[in-house]
Amino acid sequence: MRATREVRRTVARLADGRQIIYFDDTPDAPARTAVDTRDLGERAAAGHIRHDALTGDWVAVAGHRMHRTFLPPRDECPLCPTGRGSVPSEVPDADYDVVVFENRFPSYAPVAVDNVEAPPGYLHAPALGRTEVVCFTSDHESTFAALTPHRVRTVVDVWADRTAELGADPDVAHVFCFENRGQEIGVTLHHPHGQVYAYPYVPARTAEILTRATEHHARTGRLLGADLLAAERADGSRVVLTSEHWTAYVPYAARWPLEVHLAPHRDVPDLVALDDAERDDLAATYLELLGRLDRFHVSDGGEPVALPYIAAWHQAPARTGREVSRLFLQVMSVLRGPGRLKYLAGSESGAGGWVTDTRPEAVAARLRELAP
């Protein structure tokens, strides 16, 4: 954690041995000494990954996740502090600022059971790695967009902390920080939270971006991400907002009904490399962007429609392609309009041929109009 930030980091263990880390940015926050008293038995092991010979992708087989917690009643939320509901939660303490813990139903974990025998010609491996939950606030009714800039800055530091620590694990090839918001996206817990996946391989989308970046660098000697940002800023028609250190724009070939990229002005490979000024500016700029996105759709009664979205940090893999990678955030939504969703049907899901119903320039223009 940066020395200029007074954030206290406390590491503890849950009843089944999983790690939990408290990040407290409140000056008088009490010591985090509560003990998890639940009878959880042994921690769940991850399963294995299988190689898709047709595409080269890897698929995690995690049958134990079939029965994971799904939209529990408010008083049984596993992400609220213990004592605020009718049952003990995943967080033993009575309150917290930001907390991170290993997922109870992991897709990837430090312990993995690979008890299958692959048929001839097929590849498989244990799903070693880590899947973590990041709770942005103890307030069940809040959202990321409702956080203060001070708290968002803490979350940025937490993302960087987890990227650095997990990326140093020899079993981890890539660290992916993201947030899913809204049932339309598929969230199974309403409490404001995100996740961190530490993969034992470089996932397909990241690998594809890395391939294009490597080819561009070999051809031009420049970073693809930097050239794309420069082109968008020069054109201007898809730029949504610009701050001292960041620019948000709708990409030229946006796939989703609402899609915005948020990129730093300086060439950095990952969240860890952001300096204090860039982190401070990111906290304010990201909140402004989320505010505009939440005002994009309006109901028949004239009320803003809270946007379901995925916010995904694209950063350099842990040990490959770091010299050609450039950090950016992708925020995307399936919502075409109030009550209307973009479905990934035949062309998208079957052939991978995307069709978008919205012009990127029109989306950017609308988001510029929504400036506070």
The catalytic site residues sit at 193
Q: Annotate 208-248 with DSSP letters as a single string.
A: HHHHHHHHHHHHHSS-HHHHHHHHHHHH-TTEEEE-SSEEE
Q: Are 130 and 166 in contact (CB under 8 A)?
A: yes
Q: Are 288 and 252 in contact (CB under 8 A)?
A: no
End-to-end CA distance of the chain: 32
Distances (CA, A) of 251 to 125, 150, 225, 254, 364: 36, 29, 12, 5, 9
Distance CA 84, CA 269 (A): 40
Q: Annotate 36-82 with DSSP letters as a single string.
A: ------SPPPB-EEEE-TTT--EEEE-GGGGGS--S--GGG-TTSBT
Collapse the DSSP code of 176 into the 3-class scheme (helix H, G, I; strand E, B; otherwise coil) and give the result.
strand
What does the block give as tokens for 28?
């008088």
- Largest distance between two CA atoms of the chain: 60
CA Rg value for the chain: 21
Cα 311 to its chain centre, rounded Å, is 6
